[in-house]
């Protein structure tokens, strides 16, 4: 995460609930270097059902890829997802 970027977790802990965009951005951050579903669930503080639905949606949008690494499913942020993440950081910085 860039030094100047605010933490997604910090921004929603003050308000309570996160919006869908904040959750998606958090997932994109977690999966930049590749992550399995368990890491995403714990890192983004989601339940299994919500994570599965969101991951399917994010993959369909082309923001994540799904790879098999040593027989395990790994999600990785695409270039399109990295661009969205950058824009998300810029937007959140205006609300500090």
Asked whether the predicted pLDDT for residue 10 surpasses 60, the reply is no
| Res. 3: pLDDT tops 50 | no
CATH label of the domain that carries residue 84: 1.10.10.10
Number of structural domains the chain divides into: 1
Name residue 68's beta-bridge partners: 73
pTM above 0.95, yes or no: no
Residue 19, phi then psi, degrees to nearest 5:
-85, 165
CA distance 83 to 13: 25
Res 68 pLDDT > 70: yes
**Helix, strand, coil percent values for the chain (each to nearest 5):** 55, 15, 30
Using left for φ > 0, alpha for ψ between -120 and 50, and beta otherwise, residue 34 falls in left
Split at pLDDT 50, 70, 90, the class of 80 is: very high
Domain span including residue 18:
8-93
pLDDT tens digits, one per residue of 18-65: 889 899 999 999 999 999 999 999 999 999 999 999 999 999 999 999
């Amino acid at each position: 995460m860039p030094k100047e970027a605010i933490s997604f977790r910090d921004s929603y802990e003050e308000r309570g609930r996160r919006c869908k965009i904040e959750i998606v951005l958090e997932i994109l951050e977690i999966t930049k270097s590749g992550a399995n579903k368990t890491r995403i669930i714990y890192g983004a503080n989601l339940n299994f059902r919500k994570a599965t639905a969101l991951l399917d949606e994010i993959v369909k949008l082309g923001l994540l890829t799904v790879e098999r690494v040593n027989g395990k499913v790994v999600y990785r942020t695409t270039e399109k997802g990295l661009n969205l993440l950058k824009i998300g950081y810029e937007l959140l910085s205006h609300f500090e």
